[in-house]
Structures are given as C-alpha cells and as structure tokens.
Structure 1
Amino acid sequence: MRQIVFDLETTGFRFEEGHRIVEIGAVELVHGAVTGRSFHTYVNPERDVPEGAFRVHGLSTEFLADKPAFAAPSVAPAFLDFVGDAQLIAHNGAAFDLPFLNAQLEAYGLRPLANDLLDTLIVARRKFPGAPASLDALCARFGIDTTVRARDGHGALLDSKLLAAVYIELTGGPQAGLDFGRAADEDGAGHGARRRARPRPAPLPSLVTPEEAAAHAAFVEAELGPDSLWARLAAVKSQAAE
C-alpha cells in the first residue's frame, strides 16, 4: 500500500479570503515504512505574506518572490504526479489541508484530489481522548525529536517527516508495516514468492577458544569414551582433514 504524508504552509487559513499556499512538503510510505522519496517546493503566493503567517513559518514575501507559482509544472502538476492514487495522510487534513489544496487546484483549473484521506488528528483524538493531539504533543508522547522544529519553526517537509514518524507510532510502531512476503526473489518471482536461502561465501570463524576446545576433548575422552557420538564425530573430522 502506498501512502503520501503531506503538509502545507499558507498565508492564512481560508482560501476564499484570498490566502494561498506558500510551501508543500510530502514523504512517501510503502507498506507503512518510509521509503526516502519526498516532494518539496516553495510557492510564490502572488500576494503579500501577513506578519502572523510569517511568524509561524518564516517565509517572507521577499523570499517567495522568485519561487514558482502554484500552477507552474514544478509545483501543483508535479505534486499531483507524485501523489498519484496513494492514500493521503495529513494532520487536520480533513478540515484544512485537503480542502485548502483542492480549492486552490480548482481555482487554477487543475483537477482536485479525490484520494482517500487519513487524518491523524482524528486518529489521535480517538486513541487518546482528552489528551493534547497537536503534532508537537504527539511527537513528545512518542519520543520523536523535534529539536529542528523548535529551532527553525514550521516547515512543510519537516512537518511531513515528523508526521510520518507519528503515524507509524499511531499504527503500531515501525514493525507494523513490514510485509515479509511481498519482496521478489532474485530470479524475479512475484508477490509472495519464497526466497531461497543462500550459503555464505565463506564459513564464519569458530567462536570456540583453543582452551575451550582442549577442555572439551579431555571431557569427551575421560567421561564419554571412544564410542560416544562426540568421539565418532571427531574421528570423522580428522579423517576428512587428512
């Protein structure tokens, strides 16, 4: 299963009041594990960034002035291609991120996203009723390092990475998404194929010390005798070595 964890930074909360996206960040999960693939872009909102929004994400009108506009090929179309038909994951995504993104997509003549959405804010509130459910609170609950966020503030890609870690914890921890049957073997067998065990190119060295080997041989000779299994195995090894 492919999922995309994403986050937006904007000039304000409501698209209909003239606010626009200034940053998009996303990371890919496959079978519940982070793959390392990500998407990130700053966006020229083609308007001024209010002081309140600047205090949150630190993206100024001047900084964004030379960035691509939302409809540029490297922004919205590229993000739609990155998402594909994956399930979306966002924190407060049902109330904010996805509606805001779709409103801007439609306003710019692009197709809105109809992908399934998992809202981690809703999941967290159900799992921990009455407890704080902000991204920072969940990171603290699960011991996820937010040092960079505390120092540098919000960022769409950083928040997506943090949210991916939170989502993994919310859904059972790092092992929950492992699928030992899905990888193909080296001959190209498909889903569910059983891998063939491969011998080591060279045997591992023995961990038995010379002193331990000598003590064992003395025990076999004195206590078990020449007809014991250990004695017969030693004789076979000795003949093979000759």
Structure 2
Amino acid sequence: MRQIVLDTETTGLETSEGHRIIEIGCLEIVNRRVTGERLHEYLQPDRAIDPRAIEVHGISNEFLLDKPRFAEVMDRFLDFVDGAELIIHNAPFDVGFINHELRLAKGRVRRIEDVCGILDTLVLARQMHPGSRNSLDALCKRYQVDASGRVLHGAVLDAGLLADVYLAMTGGQVTLTLDREGPADAAGPSAPARAPRPSAPLRVIEPTAEERAEHEALLALLDQSSGGSCQWRR
C-alpha cells in the first residue's frame, strides 16, 4: 500500500480571493514504512503573500521570485502522487488549493481526487478523540512526537510530523527506518525489523504461590462470567 503524506503552504486562506500555493511537500509511505522518497517545491504564486500568512510560515515574496510556477512542476507532482492515498490534515483546505492550481494550469487532471484517494487525519482524530483538541501540534503532544523544531509551519516539516502522528494513531510503524531522509537499509525496503538475539538465556521469573492463587481466582471469575468459555482455561 502506497501513501503520500502531503502538506502545503499558501499565500492566504481562500482560493476565491486569488490565493495560491507557495510550498508543497510530499513524503512517501509504503506498507507503513517511511521510505525517504519525497517531493518538495517552493512555488512562485504571481501575487503578494498575505502578511498574516508570512507570520505563520515565514516565506517571503522575495524568496519566491526565482521559484518555478505550479504549472512547471505539475506533471512531476502528479506522477509522484498518482494512484496513492494522500494523507492530509484538514484535507479540504489542501485539496481545495491543489484543485484550484490544477484548474488554472489546465493540465491532464483537474481534480486530485480523480488520481488519488484522500484520508483526512483531522476527521480520523476527531473520531478517535471526540471533544479534544486535534490540531497537528496537539496530536504531536498526545502521541509524543517531537515537534520542538516547529517554530514556523513548513510543508516538508509538517508532513514529516504528520507521518509520525498518523503511524502512531493507526498502530505504530511496523518496520524500522533508521534514517527517514536516507536510502533504505541494505536489507531492502520490505525487510522486517529484527531484534538482536540475546547473548545469554533469558531469565524466567516464577510466580509466587500467592500470585498463582490470585491468577487462578481471576480465571475462575472470568470462566464463571463467560459461561465456561474462558480461553485461558483451555
């Protein structure tokens, strides 16, 4: 299963006001493994950035003067995400901006939903934690993902944090990646992580008579309450 964690930064909040994407970051997950493959672009929006947006992401108009426009990187972006499931926090915002850019570019795709599935981690978080704050910062704290370096928002930085949060929310990463930004290890991208073999026999701690009695009492209670179906008695 191939998934792409995606985030964008924009000139403002509303496409209806002519705001555009100025940064897009994508990180690849294959079979719940962060592979290190990514796509990252800063984009020239051909308009001024809202000062309030600059306070959020720190990207200036001057910095973007020599950057490509979305239409110039569109095919590379579409090739990277084609057929994957996009993992996005508050997906309507990013999907709305991506579709706006696709329509302006008049390329082969007008709706990203036509080539990708969409998973909104904000919706998932609200289902799992109703009544709680479910911003990316709040989820990082809840799942003990280190976001101490997130002074400003950034597409690749936020995508990386979201990848860690998503894997933690949905059961943890099942294979070990020692270096997310580097190549896969020598065992290959699908090799399972293996714990080191102990150098000495593991110590077995036997329960005391009191602990055995408490255990048997609990099993008896479970057996009685389940009508004789306690699996630990079989």
Cα distance in 1, alignment partners of residues 93 and 175 from structure 2: 28
User: Which of structure 1's runs of 4+ aligned residues deviate more than 4 A?
Assistant: none
Letter of the aligned partner of 2:134 in structure 1? A
Aligned partner of 1:70 in structure 2 is 70
Aligned partner of 2:95 in structure 1 is 98
Cα distance in 1, alignment partners of residues 85 and 70 from structure 2: 22
Report which of the two structures shows the higher radius of gyration computed on alpha carbons: 1
Q: Give structure 2 stretches of 5+ with no counterpart.
A: 177-186, 191-196, 202-234
Contact 1:43 1:69 in 2 (8 A): yes
Pair 1:120 & 2:117 matched? no
Cα distance in 2, alignment partners of residues 174 and 32 from structure 1: 6
Letter of the aligned partner of 1:154 in structure 2? H
Cα distance in 2, alignment partners of residues 85 and 52 from structure 1: 35
Aligned partner of 1:37 in structure 2 is 37
Cα distance in 2, alignment partners of residues 68 and 32 from structure 1: 32
Offset at residue 175 of structure 1 (A):
2.3
Aligned partner of 1:89 in structure 2 is 87
Cα distance in 2, alignment partners of residues 176 and 82 from structure 1: 23
Q: Secondary structure at the match of 1:99?
A: helix
Aligned partner of 2:158 in structure 1 is 159
Structure 1 pair 64/143, CA: closer, same or farther in 2 (3 Å)? same
Q: Secondary structure at the match of 1:167?
A: helix
Pair 1:107 & 2:104 matched? yes
Q: Which deviates the most, 108-117 or 138-147?
A: 108-117
Pairwise CA RMSD = 2.2
Q: Secondary structure at the match of 2:35?
A: strand
Contact 1:2 1:87 in 2 (8 A): yes
Task: Report which structure shows greater RCO (CA 8 Å, sep ≥6).
Answer: 2
Cα distance in 1, alignment partners of residues 12 and 74 from structure 2: 19
Q: Secondary structure at the match of 1:56?
A: helix
Q: Secondary structure at the match of 1:27?
A: strand
Offset at residue 176 of structure 1 (A):
8.3
Letter of the aligned partner of 1:100 in structure 2? F
Question: How many residue pairs end up in the alignment?
Answer: 178
Contact 1:7 1:90 in 2 (8 A): yes
Aligned partner of 1:221 in structure 2 is none
Offset at residue 77 of structure 1 (A):
1.6
User: Residues 82-133 of structure 1: CA distance to partner in whole angstroms, max 9, x if unpaired?
Assistant: 111101110001x211121112111210213121100000000000001110
Contact 1:15 1:104 in 2 (8 A): no
Aligned partner of 1:10 in structure 2 is 10
Letter of the aligned partner of 1:57 in structure 2? H
User: Residues 47-94 of structure 1: CA distance to partner in whole angstroms, max 9, x if unpaired?
Assistant: 11111011011111111111111111xx2221111111101110001x
Cα distance in 2, alignment partners of residues 154 and 77 from structure 1: 26
Offset at residue 32 of structure 1 (A):
1.3
Cα distance in 2, alignment partners of residues 3 and 45 from structure 1: 27
Cα distance in 1, alignment partners of residues 133 and 175 from structure 2: 24
Q: Secondary structure at the match of 1:36?
A: strand
Contact 1:7 1:157 in 2 (8 A): yes
Aligned partner of 1:79 in structure 2 is 77
